[in-house]
Amino acid sequence: MPVTIIHEAKTERLEILDRSGKADEALLPKLSSEEMANLYRLMVRMRRFDEKALTLQRQGRMGTWGSIRGQEACQAGLAVNLLKEDWLAPSFREHGVMISRGIPMRQVYAIWRGDERGHLFPEGVNCLPVSIPVASQLLHAAGLGLGLKLRGEKSAVAVGFAGDGASSEGDFHEALNFAGVFKSRTLFFIQNNQWAISLPFKKQTAAESIAQRAHGYGMPGMQVDGNDVLAVYAATKKALDHVRAGNGPYLLECLTYRMENHTTADDATRYRLADEIAYWKERDPIDRMRAFLVSKKLWNDQKEAALFEEVSAEVEAEVKALEAEPSAPATDIVDFMYKERPWFLEEQRALLAKEAR
C-alpha cells in the first residue's frame, strides 16, 4: 500500500535576548529607542502594581491576588501591539495588559476585592470582564473573533488568554477548533508559566509545546520566549498581522514562569524546588531588558530611579482613590449577573437590600 504524507509540521520558537540581555542583532524588531524603553517602562509599572497588591493582601486590604510577577514581558509585548478596536477576553492573570490598555489600576484592584464595579471599564476600552473558569476565555474570544469577521472588520481582532493548565480543558479544543473552521479573527494568547497551581506542565500534555497543537486545528502556531519582551513583541506582531489580514486565528505560546504563588491562597514551596525558582530568577524579563537597554546606552540609574518614583507614586495614588470609594452595595452581587434578573434573583436582591439596611 503506497504511503503518502498528508501533513508535515514544524513549530518555530523565537528568542532574541539571551539571559544576560545580549541580543541576536539580526532578529531585533524595528523599534525606535523610545519604543524599546517604553516596553521596559510598561514592565516596571506592572511589577510595582503587582507588588503593591501583594502587600495590600498581606495587610488585609485586598481579597486575594493572582500575581503576574515573571510574566510582564508577555503582557507588555502584546499590549503595545494592540489597537483600540481590538477586544480582550481576559482570564485572572492579565492585569498587566489591562492596565496598559487604559483600565485604571484601582479598577483591577477593586475586582480582586470582590467589587464588581471594577468591571465598569472606561468607555471605549474593549475588554470583557475577568472570567475565572479556566479556558472559558478562549471560547469567548473565538466567538468575538467570529463576530468581528461577520461585521466585516478589517483590523480589529479578539485576543483570548489562557494558561498551560487551560490547554487541557475541553474548552481549549472547542475554541480552537471552532475558530479554525470559521476563520475567526482571534489570537489565542497562551502564557505557559509551567504550573497550573501545583500541576507541572509535563502533566498537561505529552507534546513538547502547546504551540505545536495549532497544526491539528489548521492554524499557525509559534512558541516564543515569554521572558524576552523583544521576542514577544516580534512574535505577537507577526501573529496579529496574520489575524488582522483575515487569514484566520493564530496560536501563540509564550513560555514563561510564574515567579509567585498561584494566588495568595497558595504556598508554592510545597510543590516547587528552590533550584527551579533560581533558574527562572536568572531569566527575569525585567532584568534582561534593562541589561539590553543599558548596553545600548538607552537606560541608566537616573532613569531607573525616576521611573521607580513615577510608578510608585501612581500606584499609591490609585490605592488611595480605591480606598476612598464607599463600599459596594451588597446588591451588586446579583446586579452584575444578568441583564434582566430572573424572579429568584429578584427575591434574593430584596432580601439583600433589607439585610443591608
Ligand X SMILES: Cc1ncc(C[n+]2csc(CCOP(=O)(O)OP(=O)(O)O)c2C)c(N)n1
Shortest spacing between CB 356 and ligand X, in angstroms: 28
| Residue 130 vs 134, nearer CB to ligand X | 134
| Residue 190 vs 319, nearer CB to ligand X | 190
| 137, 150 contact by CB (below 8 A) | no
The count of residues in the chain is: 357
Nearest one of 210, 207, 203, 221 to 255, comparing CA atoms: 210
| Residue 101 vs 262, nearer CB to ligand X | 262
Q: Which residue is at the shortest CB distance from ligand X? A: 163
Shortest spacing between CB 293 and ligand X, in angstroms: 28
Shortest spacing between CB 263 and ligand X, in angstroms: 8
| 250-309 positions binding ligand X, by CB under 6 A | 258, 262
Q: Does 78 bind ligand X (CB under 6 A)?
A: no
Shortest spacing between CB 3 and ligand X, in angstroms: 38
HEC string of the chain equals: CCCCCCCCCCCEEECCECCCCCECHHHCCCCCHHHHHHHHHHHHHHHHHHHHHHHHHHCCCCCCCCCCCCCHHHHHHHHCCCCCCCEEECCCCCHHHHHHCCCCHHHHHHHHCCCHHHHCCCCCCCECCCCCCCCHHHHHHHHHHHHHHHCCCCCCCEEEEEECHHHHCHHHHHHHHHHHHHCCCEEEEEEECCEECCEEHHHCCCCCCCHHHHHHHCCCEEEEECCCHHHHHHHHHHHHHHHHCCCCCEEEEEECCCCCCCCCCCCHHHCCCHHHHHHHHCCCHHHHHHHHHHHCCCCCHHHHHHHHHHHHHHHHHHHHHHHHCCCCCCCHHHHCCCCCCCHHHHHHHHHHHHHHC
Binding region for ligand X (CB under 6 A) out of 7-15, 163-171, 274-282, 296-304: 163-171
Binding region for ligand X (CB under 6 A) out of 25-33, 193-201, 278-286, 304-312: 193-201
Binding region for ligand X (CB under 6 A) out of 141-149, 156-164, 268-276, 288-296: 156-164
User: For residue 354, how far is the Cα from the chain centroid?
Assistant: 40
| Residue 64 vs 177, nearer CB to ligand X | 64
Q: Does 195 bind ligand X (CB under 6 A)?
A: yes
Shortest spacing between CB 320 and ligand X, in angstroms: 29
| Residue 197 vs 294, nearer CB to ligand X | 197
Which one of 142, 196, 231, 291 is in contact with ligand X (CB under 6 A)?
196
Q: Which amino acid is at 52?
A: K
Shortest spacing between CB 264 and ligand X, in angstroms: 13
| Residue 69 vs 149, nearer CB to ligand X | 69
Q: Cell match 486565528: residue?
A: 249
Shortest spacing between CB 262 and ligand X, in angstroms: 6
| Residue 72 vs 318, nearer CB to ligand X | 72
Which one of 131, 193, 212, 223 is in contact with ligand X (CB under 6 A)?
193
| Residues noted as catalytic | 258, 262, 271
Nearest one of 88, 94, 91, 100 to 128, comparing CA atoms: 88
Q: Total number of residues binding ligand X (CB under 6 A)?
A: 15
Which one of 163, 221, 249, 285 is in contact with ligand X (CB under 6 A)?
163
| 94-153 positions binding ligand X, by CB under 6 A | 132-134
Q: Does 188 bind ligand X (CB under 6 A)?
A: no
Q: Which residues bind ligand X (CB under 6 A)?
A: 93, 132-134, 162-166, 193, 195-197, 258, 262
